[in-house]
Chains A and B, each alone.
Chain A
Amino acid sequence: MGSKIKEVDLGVSIGSLRLKNPVMTASGTFGYAREFEPYVNLHRLGAVVVKGISLEPRAGNPPPRIVETSCGMLNAIGLENVGVNRFISEKMEYLQVVNVPVVVNILGDTLEEYREIAERLADVKGVAAIEVNISCPNVKKGGVAFGTVPAMAAAVTAAVKQKSTVPVIVKLSPNVTDITLIARAVEDAGADSVSLINTLIGMAIDHRTRKPRLANVIGGLSGPAIKPVALRMVYQVAQAVSIPVIGIGGIETVEDVLEFMLAGATAIQIGTANFINPRASEEAVEGLAKYVAEQKLGSIREIIGAVVIP
């Protein structure tokens, strides 16, 4: 299997970042990568995206934080994380040794926080790119999510770009009326790439207790249930911008990966599927290699955006 993978060209580029294949892991579903060491040859992945990092450590929401729904799950983790300083001192060392590009997902309550985290990550060895989670509430603007207003999304992008020394990927929220407007706004503000989608906001109620199933009342929907929505949004955004699009949402198998790439994604991220099959990401890499060989493609790049609209 290993030799087969070397024969075919799976390489893709996200701005100045060259990936050996388009398969990445989605933030918040792959820990800090080390958790998957027993299951995955991490160096074979295109990149890993780590759990969202804030300036200060966050404890996250009270339990219950997760509930299963039809073909999916809702989560309200509340962005629990160790904070940027402990991330750099405790988690990066391992990732540097593994030899896999590390994309650091960042989040904040204010523009200043985003800027500050980007500054602390600048020049940290092993950080290949920053992914900006803009689905967070802007504390200074009454808690409206940055990602829902084009001007605010652009401002965060510009703030991070100003300090970052690596490509900046802006992760879009699907909880908007027109995602292409946000995508264009962040492209204009200098984003090197956009990734989408983050989770769709949802809710579950237990009719017997009459209570919400999540302590936070609402949470983010992920998994196979959201795939058609994600695929549609990737397709629309890929038409609207000229920077590379990273597709996310319900991807489990190589077939799913191919569909997102056909819709216009240059790379993809695997999220919830990691919980069910920790090897999902590596299996997708193997599947892509097989596909390129069987289809006798010059490279995987040939299928990006190649969906045939009759």
Chain B
Amino acid sequence: MSQFQKKTQITRLERLGSDIIRITLDSPEISKIATPGQFVMVRTGKGKDPLLRRPFSISQVSNGRYFQILFKVVGRGTALLAHCREGEYLSVLGPLGSGFQIDYTTINCLVGGGMGIAPLLFLGKWMSRKCPDNLPLVVIGARTEGELEPLVKDFQEIGLSVYPATDDGSLGHHGFVIDVLKNLNLDAGSKTYVCGPYPMMLAVHLFCKEKGFSCQVSMETSMACGMGACLGCIVPVERGGYAHSCFDGPVFDAEELLWEVK
């Protein structure tokens, strides 16, 4: 289990939309060993407030040296990160958690919503490099075109077929990713790799269960440490009790989790 605490330099900071930011960080240690679905814990400031690190999925790695995080500004920590400048350093812990289990022998479908798309970019790139003959399908959704369009392009650039959906119909299907997924009529034995808001993951899980598809989901929980020390990051599991999102996950077989059906 290799993990590092590193001061990593911001080599690039891009604004993909009004509140969506992509940061490229220079860290050979982390970039060389990270696998899709893993995450990093980032310090957002230098002082005591905000105190805790923030978790972000690794959304791409390149040249065995750089990795990216992609995030939406939702609160103080992400707002601070959004104001960083290129050349500055961020303290990062990682790579953390266990990622996606990939099966290259079947039809694979990546399903993402909102910022849940971040780890799927890394996964899609990884799959297309390891197995160019079996490219995954990509079904992703967001609120509007502005949020989704740059990410659709990223997937298309690596040669993947993207099926977008937006809440307001400004890009692709007008509605939810689950509807798009249903309309794909995937073959029996297909596998889905899912990350997004809870209701979306639940809908995809229920659909996959009905169809007999395997379904892996990446769970977001609140986290204090990201490395197994605080026991704060739990998710209820089917067999009773809890699993820990930061070391048993964040990626889980959806069948193992106890879902809260509202």
Contacts and interface: CB of A to CB of B under 8 A. Distances in A.
Contacts of A73: 51-52, 224
Interface string B11-36: 00000000000000000000000000
A38 B2 contact: yes
B101 to A, nearest CB: 23
A29 B235 CA distance: 19
A231 to B, nearest CB: 15
Contacts of B261: none
A68 B229 contact: no
Contact of B232 (A70, A75, A277): A75
B224 A275 contact: yes
Interface string B243-261: 0000000000000000000
Given A62-B236, A63-B235, A224-B48, A35 B53 contact: no
A51 interface: yes
Interface in A19-43: 28-31, 35-39
A29 B230 contact: yes
Which of B2, B3, B224 has the largest count of A CB atoms less than 10 A from its CB? B224
A70 B228 CA distance: 23
A81 B222 CA distance: 19
A63 B52 contact: no
B177 interface: no
B93 interface: yes
Contacts of A65: 222, 231-232, 234
Nearest to B47: A71
A279 interface: yes
Interface in B175-225: 221-225
Nearest to A81: B231
Q: Is the interface of A mostly helix, strand, loop or mixed?
A: loop
A80 interface: yes
Interface in A26-85: 28-31, 35-39, 51, 59-60, 62-68, 70-73, 75, 77, 80
B242 A276 contact: no
Contacts of A278: 5, 93, 227
A272 B229 CA distance: 10
Contact of B49 (A36, A70, A277, A279): A70
B1 interface: yes
A49 to B, nearest CB: 12
Given A63-B234, A68-B51, A36 B224 contact: no
Nearest to A70: B49
A272 B224 CA distance: 9
Nearest to B230: A275
A223 interface: yes
B125 interface: no
A37 B5 CA distance: 12
A165 interface: no
A276 B228 contact: no
A272 B28 CA distance: 28
28 contacts: A28-B230, A29-B230, A31-B228, A35-B229, A37-B1, A38-B1, A38-B2, A38-B3, A59-B240, A60-B231, A63-B221, A63-B235, A66-B223, A66-B224, A66-B230, A66-B232, A68-B224, A72-B51, A223-B51, A272-B224, A274-B229, A275-B52, A275-B224, A275-B225, A275-B230, A276-B43, A278-B5, A278-B227
Given A28-B230, A68-B224, 15 more contacts: A38-B1, A39-B3, A59-B240, A62-B236, A63-B222, A65-B231, A65-B234, A73-B52, A77-B230, A80-B242, A223-B51, A272-B51, A275-B52, A278-B5, A278-B93
Interface of B: 1-5, 43, 48-53, 93, 221-225, 227-232, 234-236, 240-242
The 10 A-B pairs of least Cβ separation, nearest first, read A66-B232, A275-B225, A38-B3, A35-B228, A31-B229, A59-B241, A71-B48, A224-B48, A65-B232, A275-B224
